[in-house]
Amino acid sequence: MSQSPKHLAVAGATGAVGIEILKCLEQRDFPVSELTLLASARSAGKTLKFRGEDVIVKELTADSFAGVDIALFSAGGGISKTFAPHAVAAGAVVVDNSSAFRMDEGVPLVVPEINPEDAKEHHGIIANPNCTTIVTLMALNPMHQIFGGVKSILASSYQAVSGSGAQGIAELEAQVAALSKGEPLPDRQVYPKQIAFNVIPQVDTFQDNGYTKEEMKMHFEGQKILHAPDLKASVTCVRVPVFRSHAISVTAVFADEPSVEAAREAINAAPGVQVVDDPFAESPQYPTPLDCTDGDDCLVGRIRKDLVLDNALTFWVVGDQVRKGAALNAVQIAELL
């Protein structure tokens, strides 16, 4: 990159997304003049590697942001609400990975491949969308652009346990180990039901309308990112016993009649997303979560005309929710800045 080096802070640096942010900054050669790593008091004093050097993690406080140009937050909504204003007051631009500011009218909600111009309208904070929303819209937006706009979405997500953090992975591992040895299951700490060899149709808390908070995010965030205030989304989010990367089955209704061939061409021409779709090959081709893990691109397959709804296509998309669904998208926003 040719831009002048920046003083970056990463809040929540020791978490899964924080560590992935450091990987993305290195791999994309982001111009960093100084790096400040921030976390809770219990993590202060730890060291993390960045470009071959040990960087000491400091405790996140209100005074942590002096001289910081860009602060990447990935420490949860409560932390963001408490400390992001201090970062802005110190002169930093905050890129926040939590849900704290996503629906604030004055805060842009940005996927750089879709609405990069919105980032210019920030007032100190730019929000990173929900991971499932990002992965879905990466596939949907190219079709949205050529078929007269998307009108509605019916979707089911299949969300990896890493979406619950390291503790979600640990719970799945512990349950699989116990079941394989014929031992009693350990007490559940993360999920309301057994996750090993099971699926749980509850991600986040239920709302009065029967949908969960996670399911409503695609509805509201999709409207904001696509500038489509009339877009409607009916979503079921399911936790599955997969370690990393989310998958979403989507039926999208468009204003104009879509075609499978045009959809494939548009997706392949768009940045950050690829078609993997040949159902009639000797070995049928379609993407799975393992195919996109640790990768930047979202992968799309099973593209077909819907048999129930007019002007509709049904498709399947997978993406690494730790990377494109969180860390990579945040770093790409920092690149826009």
Q: Which are the catalytic amino acids?
A: 131, 246
Strand 93-96 relative to strand 125-127, pairing: parallel
Q: Which phi and psi angles does 194 have, rounded to 5°?
A: -55, 130
Query: How far is 241 from 133, CA to CA, in rounded Å?
Result: 20
- Tokens 């969300």 correspond to 159
Query: How far is 143 from 129, CA to CA, in rounded Å?
Result: 20
Task: Give pairs for 63-67: CB < 8 Å, separation 24+.
Answer: 64/9, 64/11, 64/36, 64/38, 65/9, 65/36, 65/90, 65/91, 65/92, 66/90, 67/7, 67/34, 67/91
If DSSP codes are grouped into helix, strand and coil, which group holds residue 216? helix
- Residue 210 region by backbone torsions, left for phi larger than 0, else alpha for psi between -120 and 50, else beta: left
**In the numeric block, which tokens belong to residue 128?**
């990173």
**In the numeric block, which tokens belong to residue 220?**
């509201």
Query: How far is 125 from 106, CA to CA, in rounded Å?
Result: 9
The single-letter code of the amino acid at 191 is Y
